[in-house]
Amino acid sequence: NQKTMILGIESSCDETAAAVVENGRIIRSNAVASQIDIHRRFGGVVPEVASRHHVDQITLVCEEAMEKSGVSWEDLDAIAVTQGPGLIGSLLVGVNGAKALSFAHGLPLVPVHHITGHIYANRFVQELEFPLVAMVVSGGHTELVYMKEHGSYQVVGTTRDDAAGEAFDKVARTLGLPYPGGPEIDRLAEKGKPSIHFPRAWLEEGSLDFSFSGLKSAVINYIHNEQQRGNEINEADIASSFQESVAEVLVRKTLIAAERYHAKQILVAGGVSANSKIRSEMEQAAATRSIPLIIPPLKFCTDNAAMIAASGTIGFLKGMRADLSLNGSPNLPI
């Protein structure tokens, strides 16, 4: 019954993060330096700017995580780092930081896939039970993942074009809302009604894949057409109708996957799982079918390093190791 103590490092997009996690479930510290305010004025993440800020922050964030954890370097078992997917310039900062610390302290290095991190954020809420189905929805990903045991991942559905979060961000931008658009749409939708019918892309019968570019275009065209006709647009209704369309497709396909794979649990993960409509629809659908549902608290839905340490714990125990030739991998498959 020995403890496993892992330092996790995450820098795949615009959050520089480090965290110490015990036994894959107990958060000893969780430090995050967000760049959202920096990128907001550009209306999105600027890769070059992101990697420069990661360089500024990485040492401080790792020191903060170690200090607050009360864990000494000698008590760590390994360093887990996001290898990909993500922005290459951003990934490289975390990967090189992790390599330097691994070398300096003689600790094993464990590579982690970012999506598996989002999935393992659920383990802070409850112990996972297999088989399970996880819906991972973020700015860069829309994936349904089937897991038959710890550390085993099979992608059973994915987006054929835009990620769900990307659609949120682009619709928000058309409505003149600041970046990141997801939370803005969520807030705005609360004041509106889903009175406009936007399309739902179900794709072929039985398909677990997604497509959001048609919906995104439909919403953008609707806004432009109304504006051209000189009609006043009801932004809250547009946000609410758009959100309803995304939620309906995500929830229904996740439920189909859960039934097809006899899931004992449904997990929801990634930045978009912070969405209140998606959360409530998913809760209702899972309850109707009596399938236990886990959704992490908001701060563990968006990018953080505790989730990387949690997934890295499984990788560590399974013997996954990287050496000092480890590189960032922008399109890393699960």
Among 64, 143, 186, 244, the residue binding ligand KG4 under the rule CB under 6 A is 186
Apex 30 CA angle, 25 and 129, nearest 5: 20
Question: Which of the choices Zn ion, ligand KG4, none does residue 183 contact, using the CB cut-off of 5 to 8 A by kind?
Answer: ligand KG4
Question: Which of the choices ligand KG4, Zn ion, none does residue 241 contact, using the CB cut-off of 5 to 8 A by kind?
Answer: none
Question: Which of the choices Zn ion, ligand KG4, none does residue 275 contact, using the CB cut-off of 5 to 8 A by kind?
Answer: ligand KG4
Interaction pattern, residues 266-285, with ligand KG4; x per rule: CB under 6 A: ----xxx-xx----------
How far apart are CB 304 and ligand KG4 at their closest, in Å? 9
Which helix (H) or strand (E) segment holds residue 78: the answer is strand 78-84
The reply on whether position 35 binds ligand KG4 by CB under 6 A is no
DSSP code per residue over 153-192? -EEEEEBSS--HHHHHHHHHHHTTPPSSHHHHHHHHHTTS
Give the footprint of Zn ion on this chain (CB under 5 A): 138, 303
200 three-class SS: coil
Q: What is the separation of C-alpha 305 from the centre of its chain, rounded to a whole number of angstroms? A: 11
Apex 274 CA angle, 193 and 250, nearest 5: 70
The reply on whether position 84 binds ligand KG4 by CB under 6 A is no
How far apart are CB 73 and ligand KG4 at their closest, in Å? 29
Q: Which of residues 12-31 bind ligand KG4 (CB under 6 A)?
A: 13
Among 64, 169, 209, 244, the residue binding ligand KG4 under the rule CB under 6 A is 169
Q: How far is Cα 328 from Cα 314, in angstroms, rounded to an integer?
A: 20
The reply on whether position 302 binds ligand KG4 by CB under 6 A is yes
Token readout for 30 is 């969780």
How far apart are CB 252 and ligand KG4 at their closest, in Å? 18
How far apart are CB 163 and Zn ion at their closest, in Å? 10
How far apart are CB 104 and Zn ion at their closest, in Å? 28
Q: How far is Cα 108 from Cα 222, in angstroms, rounded to an integer?
A: 53
Asked if residues 62 and 79 have their Cβ atoms less than 8 Å apart, the reply is no
The reply on whether position 85 binds ligand KG4 by CB under 6 A is no
How far apart are CB 180 and ligand KG4 at their closest, in Å? 4
- 253 exposed, middle or buried (CB, 10 Å; 0-12, 13-18, 19+)? buried
Dihedral of CA atoms 246, 140, 299, 72 in degrees, nearest 10, equals 160
Q: How many residues does the chain have?
A: 334
Q: How far is Cα 1 from Cα 141, in angstroms, rounded to an integer?
A: 36
Token readout for 325 is 């030739």
Q: Which of residues 113-132 bind ligand KG4 (CB under 6 A)?
A: none
Residue 169 assigned as binding residue: yes
Residue 140 assigned as binding residue: yes
Please, which residue, 101 or 134, has the CB nearer to ligand KG4? 134
Asked if residues 29 and 65 have their Cβ atoms less than 8 Å apart, the reply is yes
Please, which residue, 35 or 138, has the CB nearer to ligand KG4? 138
- Give the annotated binding-site residues for Fe cation: 114, 118, 303
Binding site for ligand KG4 (CB under 6 A): 13, 138-140, 165, 168-169, 180-183, 186, 270-272, 274-275, 302-303
